[in-house]
Chain A
């Protein structure tokens, strides 16, 4: 199988290793730190394999003295006819070898690569040393795509860089941010490479298709895992003899522990699903080292943060019925609204009536997970899912604060009746909702997406 070798090059500490991590969705490749010369040796990884070929990326040490090297290369007589010969004349010169050892290592990798991804920190001003690096790499005669990194922040100088690169005749430019895994940007990178390397069009087409499938799968699976847990939480109940306060308190504690454990498992699943490593995720404000939320699910603050309930079933039913009344021009005289409210009441009161029946007729108290808790769990884990989907694998900086909880009012209204129905799902629903109620899981997943 033929292999397309791409070398990732650029100045020191511009995020080359982080880029590879983000593209490959792995967190344990190379060393990433906000310091110069973190990568000392070239290191390759296989990004993708298909029938059309194999795509390999090579991480390289950063260029640091390209300006001085270029100055000496420019003094070589053969610099115009054969840039690489002029470069080798300098880097093989014993007088210069020690000074440009690191640059020589990078340029040798460049020479063996089919194309280059030149990474530029777009937060940096357009300095001469970066332009020198581009000139030096251009002299190597390899096709290249310029990747402007760190473009998501407010301090990005993407426009300055695009103008400067255009003046140099470099138009294959992609804006990216290794801290944020943004599929449109990533796709643009592959498309640029496809334009640059037409012989490898099939490989990049397959890569783009695979990445899109994988992205959809992650979204779908993540939503499904949350949906399953919501149903299990809704179906969970412990019955205790009425009036036995000790057993009731124990049942409440057991329910809380169980819910926390279930949520921790969900978090771990979501993190793994996105290729992150809990130990490296660096979300100290959000999750502890074991993947548990730092804010307790049952704390009042957590519940408040999840927001107030949306329309209840009664009001929702009444509103739906009123819509029908309006549609028939009021000829129904409010019958729609009344019937809607009655239907909503049946749904809303089904569980309280059931619990009241057990209490007063069966002599049992029932401990369940409250709707507000389920709502809080849904809100914060949907937020985590969005965060994980956007967090680049090369990001090393911890998140300073919890991301804003998504507005789940609409989602909650859509799934609430399904969750109420799950209250009577019994042990089968708690153990394996996917087998017990596959339709409910599918509906909830669709609502969460």
Chain B
């Protein structure tokens, strides 16, 4: 039982670091950190190991712990509120001293399960503007963020696939169970301090008509030791038997199934938590895994058996690439005028700068990085200079990159002004590049500068 919280905390820390890294560049990793992380077996284990090695992450750990505590407190409060509301409303339904119609009481107890179903449906509603959850979830997330600023990592984890589903399921079933606890408590309270007569029949349905219903309804409570009341009981004994039967029905048909469902949800959520949880298609993780992979290659002593293949699995030679498609756009500068020291970043789309290609070694490195990515890029953007004359070598390079990325290829032709200033016919050069890019199966060719492209959304990403 201790392993799950520990893993949850590890995951939360990793998510918190990713979110912070997406907002502001993290300090460069020490080679030793990357090498230690590279010793882990799986990609996620590497990321978690890297997270654990991050110095100065204690504030993030504290924030995560606070967020978890807050979530549990809010859940408990919600359960209490649900129990009080459900109990209070049932108490009102029971009314004064008149006889209680058992059918109406049991039907009334269904109001809360129905409310829970409506809440579940609302949670499932997913408008286009909220890709990571429905509007209600977005509202709750906003509330949580306001109450505790450090809940972003927790929310990101809760929004993640099966874990989020089962966590939400657990919450709903616990709320449902809380409602039944409140109703049972209300019944027990009212039946203890007041005397009621119980009726089963209604105006149209007489007791013989409902006999079968009573027998069927009593089946499960009978197994738990509360059989339906016999028809020949004296009035006092009948009242007591009917009171207990109603409570037994609420326990058997309301509380117990909810507790079982909640326990199942908790079990499944924990099981899911044990599986890979981090979204490896996130640009931050993709980039970090590449860096860890490179550190692994550097750290390997000479003569060791082909570590690069372990660190950078090559793209499959044939057949479809089964890696998931990430949201990031991989950027490669093909034979640029000058090697840029700064990595390209954009506030409008997730850019992952893989650096420049000035020769065969660079081409191999970038192709290996593309092939080693945990998720295929949504698009491969190759920035080529119009100052370079396109040739068959460039076509072969583009083809190699495109195959390794297994992503649609866009060629961005830059340096148009410099091309004209050099005295070249820029239009003619563009036409040559178009022809060569088509030979490399580029999906599109754009003219412009990367710096400008980073400053606006990319329509081809649907943004």
Say which residue of B360, B389, B418, B428 sits within 8 Å of A71 (CB atoms).
B360
Assuming the A-B contacts A11-B391, A64-B393, are A155 and B360 also in contact, with contact meaning beta carbons closer than 8 angstroms in the complex? no
Chain B residues lying within 8 Å of A127, measured Cβ to Cβ, are: 335, 358-359
Q: Which of B338, B389, B396 contacts A125 (CB 8 A)?
A: B338
The secondary-structure label for the interface of chain A is loop
Query: In A296-320, which residues have CB < 8 Å from any B CB?
Result: none
Residues of B contacting A123 with CB < 8 Å? 387, 422
Question: What is the CB-to-nearest-CB distance from B359 to chain A, in angstroms, rounded to a whole number?
Answer: 2
The answer to whether the Cβ of A114 comes within 8 Å of any Cβ in the partner chain is no
Q: Is A35 an interface residue (CB 8 A)?
A: yes
B432 CB contacts on chain A under 8 angstroms? 35-36
Per a CB cutoff under 8 Å, which of A34, A64, A124 touches B392? A64
Beyond A123-B422, A127-B358, A128-B358, whether A34 also contacts B393 by CB under 8 A is: no
A128 touches B391 (CB 8 A): no
Chain A 100-156 residues near chain B, CB threshold 8 A: 102, 123-125, 127-129, 131-132, 153, 155
- Cα distance, A131 to B360, chains bound together (Å): 10
* Cβ-closest chain B residue relative to A153: B422
Please indicate the chain B residues that have their CB under 8 angstroms from the CB of A153 in the complex.
422
> Of all chain A residues, which has the CB nearest B425?
A34
How many of chain A's residues touch chain B, expressed as a range? 20 to 34
Find chain B residues with CB under 8 A from A155 CB.
Answer: 418, 422
- Which B residues lie within 8 Å of A397 (CB)? 423
CA–CA, A11 and B393, complex, Å: 11
Q: Which residues of B contact A65 (CB under 8 A)?
A: 391-393, 396
What is the total of A-B residue contacts with beta carbons within 8 Å?
A: 63
Residues of B within 8 Å of A, CB-based: how many?
Answer: 26
**A-facing mask of B367-407, CB < 8 A → 1, else 0?**
00000000000000000000111111100100000000000
Does A13 belong to the interface (CB within 8 Å)?
A: yes
The B interface is mostly helix, strand or loop, or mixed, namely: loop
Assembled-state Cα–Cα distance A431/B47 (Å): 94
In the assembled complex, which residues on chain A have CB atoms less than 8 Å from the CB atom of B436? 36
Q: Which residues of A lie under 8 Å from residue B396 when comparing CB positions? A: 65, 68
Question: Is the pair A13, B389 in contact by a Cβ cutoff of 8 Å?
Answer: yes
A219 to chain B, nearest CB (A): 27
Please tell me if A445 contacts chain B, counting CB pairs below 8 Å.
no
Name the one of B361, B389, B428, B429 contacting A12, with C-beta atoms under 8 angstroms. B389
Q: Please, which residue of chain A has its CB at the minimum distance from the CB of B419? A: A34
- Is A419 an interface position by the 8 A CB rule? no
In the bound complex, residues from chain A placing their C-beta under 8 Å from that of B423 are 397
B230 nearest CB across to chain A (Å): 93
B337 at interface, CB cutoff 8 A = yes
Complex alpha-carbon distance, A68 and B361, angstroms: 11
Report chain A residues within 8 Å CB of B387: 123-124
Question: Which of chain B's residues have a CB closer than 8 A to the CB of A35?
Answer: 389, 428-429, 432
Of the residues A12, A34, A125, A129, contact of B337 by C-beta under 8 Å? A125
**Are B392 and A132 in contact, CB atoms less than 8 angstroms apart?**
no
B403 to chain A, nearest CB (A): 14
Is residue B29 within 8 Å, beta carbon to beta carbon, of the partner chain? no
Contact assessment for A34 and B424 in the assembled complex, using a CB-CB cutoff below 8 Å: yes
Chain A residues at the B interface, C-beta cutoff of 8 Å: 11-13, 34-37, 62, 64-68, 71, 102, 123-125, 127-129, 131-132, 153, 155, 397
In the complex, 20 of the A-B residue pairs with CB atoms within 8 angstroms, ordered by the A residue number, are A11-B391, A12-B391, A35-B429, A36-B389, A36-B432, A65-B392, A65-B393, A66-B393, A67-B360, A68-B396, A102-B392, A123-B422, A124-B387, A124-B388, A125-B337, A125-B338, A127-B359, A128-B361, A129-B335, A131-B359
Please provide the 9 A-B residue pairs with the shortest distance between their CB atoms, ordered closest to farther.
A128-B359, A64-B391, A13-B389, A64-B392, A65-B393, A36-B389, A397-B423, A67-B360, A64-B393
* 14 further contact pairs, Cβ within 8 A, besides A12-B389, A123-B387, A127-B358: A12-B391, A34-B424, A34-B425, A35-B389, A35-B428, A64-B391, A65-B392, A65-B396, A66-B393, A67-B360, A67-B393, A68-B396, A124-B388, A129-B360
